[in-house]
């Protein structure tokens, strides 16, 4: 019964909202791929900061009457150049600067939307986006921005990886590290600007962090991680849209929850596999360890009682 | 040993307003095993980084052969974040970046060189493992293999054994000595233990109060200017 209802929902979704489905799959694939490097660089905060700055740009565009992509692009590129300034000799570390930008952008978005006339619905649309409302024009913009960004990233993934992994070692090898680092963050900024109006800050942040994290938990190889992270993003998007369509849930938040469920399942599977491997490969060691644990527990017994009292 | 491979002429290096090295004049002979010793903060790492071109020189000039062939640089193994899901072979293959085609994977000859470098350090059996799964000593050896794979004339190391236990330290230093003696590679490294260096080599570049000079050392680790 439930399966047939889901099947109907899939068909309706594809017939009624083909742009939304295509836009969702494209955004999820590109953001989940770029997100692998966001996590590896330990720059997760940059994801939410740029998403929030992009939302602020969209809000400013409403007020000024300019295209939303232009507004968010200008602000995001401004933020990227501010964050790209060398921070080694600065008194304030880069993540503090990101925090200040995040707070300013979040507050300013609400202020701008409240002054631009529209009501709560528009505020929600700017802050959280709504994938299901993606139009043909928006899909076209996404296609012409995200596809070249994706190709460029794949073309230069090796020097970018080396730069992020070992900056000084790369410099010695003659890699122009500042070019690859700037190019990556520039691309990230452009992708976030293009996707923010439809996907909203929360969903973009989810694609940048949760899907790559799931892939990193499940694989030890960078190539596999870069392959399965977009797959997780696209799968979550597809099923998220189907579930939201079927049960009348907000689309973006449903996708976020499905991404998080996939992460939890992935983490549980990884844990189960590593436990199983330990028992299969080192059965004696595992028995020895459990005996040692039992001895420790026995010895700590009276002490534990004393601490409790 | 031939002529000098690196020449520093009146070199001054500074961090902001603070000058760390003042008028350093050095001629480093080709094929030498030369530790850079001195107290903490004396500028050992700073001088090596300046030689590699990682730090700008405020005054003076450093002549190196690195524009023709890059130096083999061995950082401390901690610079590579264990978060990166990269294999040992990928790390060593990174050393071939200057000569490989950007979009293509390593060709058969290059793969052979990667395996050769790993074999030279006794790490061939770990080629398929993830870098983060290795011990500190093994990681350091892999970084040495990465430096070796591009067949450099000079290997420069920044405290390569500072985080290692005694056994791993001895093993890594022995490999470096073998490379120097058997292959004639110039080995320069920052190291804080003058006594240990005295057992391995008879000369050191001693840095003190921003001045550097090559001095001879006895087995007890005392410097003779």
The pLDDT of residue B17 is 80
Query: Looking at residue A89, what is its pLDDT?
Result: 60
| Residue the block writes with tokens 């996907």 | A199
Distance CA A120, CA A142 (A): 26
pLDDT value, residue B77 = 72
User: Using a CB-CB distance cutoff of 8 angstroms, which residues of chain A are in contact with residue B90?
Assistant: 222
Instruction: State the Cα–Cα distance between residues A142 and A161, nearest whole angstrom.
Output: 25
Tell me the nearest-neighbour CA distance from A132 into chain B, angstroms: 35
Give A307's pLDDT tier (boundaries 50, 70, 90).
very low
Domains of chain B: 1-71+153-225 (3.40.50.300), 77-151 (no CATH)
C-alpha B205, offset from chain centre: 14
Q: Could you tell me the pLDDT band of residue A298, with boundaries at 50, 70 and 90?
A: low
Say whether residue B36 is in contact with chain A using an 8 A CB cutoff. Answer: no
> Tell me: the pLDDT tens digits for B2-17?
688 899 998 999 887 8
In this prediction, residues B82-89 reach a mean pLDDT of 93
Strand B211-217 and strand B203-208: the pairing is: antiparallel
How many C-beta neighbours within 10 Å does residue B134 have?
A: 19
* Separation of alpha carbons A231 and A25, rounded Å: 9
Interchain proximity B102–A158, CB inside 8 Å: yes
* CB-based burial label for A10 (10 Å; 0-12, 13-18, 19+): middle
CA distance A95 to A108: 20
Q: Which of residues 45-64 of B touch A (CB under 8 A)?
A: 49, 52-54
- Is residue A140 over pLDDT 70? yes
Which pLDDT does position A145 carry in this prediction?
A: 92
pLDDT of residue A309: 36
B70 reaches A (C-beta below 8 A): yes
* Per-residue pLDDT tens digits for A126-138: 667 778 888 888 8
pLDDT score of A254 more than 50? yes
At residue A219, the pLDDT reads 92
CA distance A4 to A9: 9
Q: Which domains does chain A have, with CATH numbers?
A: 2-283 (1.10.3470.10)
Weakest-pLDDT range from A85-89, A160-164, B44-48: A85-89
**Which bin fits B26, alpha (ψ -120 to 50), beta or left (φ > 0)?**
beta
Please tell me the distance in Å from B218's CA to the nearest CA on chain A. 34
pLDDT band of residue A300 (cuts 50, 70, 90) is low
User: Any chain B CB within 8 A of the CB of A223?
Assistant: no
Whether chain A has a CB inside 8 Å of the CB on B104: the answer is no
* CA A213 to centroid of chain Cα atoms: 9
pLDDT score, position A308: 43
- The reply to whether residue A173 touches residue B94, judged by beta carbons under 8 angstroms, is yes
Residue B86 sits at the chain A interface (C-beta within 8 Å): yes
Tens of pLDDT, residues B207-222? 888 888 888 876 555 5
Other CB atoms within a 10 A radius of the CB of residue A264 amount to 11
Report the residue from A159, A170, A219 with minimal CB separation from B85.
Answer: A219
Instruction: Write the pLDDT tens digit of every residue in B164-207.
Output: 778 778 888 888 888 888 888 899 998 877 777 888 888 889 88
Is there a contact between B206 and B213 (Cβ–Cβ < 8 Å)?
yes
Q: What's the residue count for chain A?
A: 309
Structure tokens at B33: 């095993």
Residue B71 distance to chain A (closest CA, Å): 7
- With pLDDT > 90 as the criterion, what percentage of chain A qualifies? 39
CB distance A84 to A237 below 8 Å = no
ipTM of model = 0.87
Contact A162 B81 (CB under 8 A): no
Instruction: Give CA angle at B44 (B11, B142), nearest 5°.
Output: 120
Task: Return the HEC string of A254-272.
Answer: HHHHHHHHHHHHHHHHHHH
Asked if A222 lies within 8 A of B52 by C-beta distance, the reply is no
State the pLDDT at residue B158.
Answer: 85
CB atoms under 10 Å from CB of A100, counted, come to: 12
Using pLDDT thresholds of 50, 70 and 90, give the confidence band for residue B91: very high
pLDDT of residue A102: 92
**Predicted pLDDT at A265:** 95
pLDDT tens across A191-228, in order?
998 888 788 888 999 999 999 999 999 998 999 999 99
Is B73 within 8 Å of A222 when comparing Cβ atoms?
A: no
Q: Is A301 helix (H, G, I), strand (E, B) or coil?
A: helix
Cβ of B53 within 8 Å of Cβ of A172? The answer is: yes
Whether A222 sits inside 8 A of B102 (CB atoms) is: no
Cβ–Cβ of A173/B70 closer than 8 Å?
Answer: yes
Report the alpha-carbon distance of residue A107 to residue A236 in Å, rounded: 30
**Alpha carbons A274 and B201: distance in angstroms, whole number:** 47
pTM (2 d.p.): 0.84
The pLDDT value given to residue B2: 61
Mean pLDDT of chain B: 85
Residue B138 contacts residue B88 (beta carbons within 8 Å) = no
Spatial contact of B77 and B163, defined as CB atoms under 8 Å apart: yes
Q: Which of A165, A172, A225 lies at the smallest CB-CB distance from B71?
A: A172
pLDDT one-digit tens code per residue, A83-117: 777 666 667 788 888 899 999 998 998 888 777 66
B159 interaction partners in chain A (CB closer than 8 Å): none
In chain B, residues with a C-beta closer than 8 Å to the C-beta of A169 are 73, 75, 79, 94, 146
Per-chain mean pLDDT for chain A: 84
Q: Is the pLDDT of residue B48 over 80?
A: yes
A157-188 burial, b at 16+ Cβ within 10 Å, e below that, comes to bbbbbbbbbbbebbbbbebebeebbebbbbbb
């Amino acid at each position: 019964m439930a399966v047939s209802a889901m099947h109907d929902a899939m068909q309706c979704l594809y017939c009624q909202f083909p742009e939304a489905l295509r836009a969702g799959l494209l955004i999820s694939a590109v953001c989940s791929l770029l997100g692998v490097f966001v996590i590896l660089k330990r720059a997760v905060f940059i994801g939410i900061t740029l998403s929030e700055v992009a939302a602020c740009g969209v809000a400013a565009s409403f007020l000024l009457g300019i295209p939303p992509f232009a507004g968010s692009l200008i602000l995001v590129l401004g933020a990227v150049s501010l964050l790209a300034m060398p921070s080694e000799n600065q008194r304030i570390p880069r993540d503090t600067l990101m925090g200040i930008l995040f707070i300013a952008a979040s507050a300013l978005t609400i202020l701008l939307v409240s002054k631009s006339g529209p009501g709560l619905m528009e505020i929600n649309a700017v802050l959280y986006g709504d994938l299901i409302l993606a139009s043909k024009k928006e899909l076209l913009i996404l296609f012409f921005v995200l596809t070249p960004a994706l190709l460029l990233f794949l073309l230069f993934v090796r020097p970018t990886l080396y730069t992020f992994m070992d900056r000084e070692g790369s410099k010695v090898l003659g890699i122009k590290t500042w070019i690859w680092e700037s190019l990556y963050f520039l691309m990230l900024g452009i992708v976030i600007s293009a996707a923010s109006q439809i996907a909203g800050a929360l969903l973009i942040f989810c694609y940048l962090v949760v899907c790559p994290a799931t892939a990193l938990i499940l694989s030890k190889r960078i190539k596999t991680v870069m392959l399965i992270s977009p797959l997780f993003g696209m799968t979550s998007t597809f099923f998220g849209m189907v579930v939201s369509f079927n049960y009348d849930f907000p689309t973006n938040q449903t996708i976020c929850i499905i991404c998080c469920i996939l992460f939890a399942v992935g983490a549980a599977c990884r844990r189960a596999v590593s436990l199983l491997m330990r028992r299969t490969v080192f059965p004696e060691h595992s028995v020895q360890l459990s005996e040692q644990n039992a001895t420790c527990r026995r010895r700590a017994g009276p002490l534990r009682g004393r601490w409790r009292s | 040993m031939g002529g000098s491979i690196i020449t520093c002429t009146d070199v001054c290096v500074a961090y902001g307003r603070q000058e760390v090295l003042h008028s350093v004049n050095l001629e480093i002979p080709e094929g030498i095993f030369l530790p850079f010793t001195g107290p903490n903060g004396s500028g050992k790492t700073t001088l090596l980084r300046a030689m590699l071109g990682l730090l700008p020189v405020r005054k003076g000039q450093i002549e190196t052969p690195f524009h023709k062939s890059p130096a083999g640089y061995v950082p401390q193994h901690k610079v590579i974040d264990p978060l990166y899901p990269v294999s040992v072979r990928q790390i060593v293959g990174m050393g071939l970046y200057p000569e490989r085609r950007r979009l293509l994977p390593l060709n058969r000859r290059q793969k052979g060189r990667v395996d050769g470098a790993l074999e030279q350090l006794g790490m061939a059996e770990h080629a398929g493992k993830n870098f983060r799964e290795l011990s500190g000593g093994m990681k350091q050896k892999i970084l040495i293999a990465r430096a070796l794979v591009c067949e450099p004339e000079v290997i420069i190391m920044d405290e390569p054994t500072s985080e290692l236990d005694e056994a791993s330290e001895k093993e890594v230093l022995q490999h470096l000595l073998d490379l120097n003696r058997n292959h004639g590679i110039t080995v320069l490294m920052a190291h804080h233990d003058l006594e240990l260096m005295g057992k391995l080599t008879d000369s050191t570049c001693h840095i003190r109060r921003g001045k550097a000079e090559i001095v001879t050392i006895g087995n007890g680790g005392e410097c003779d200017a």
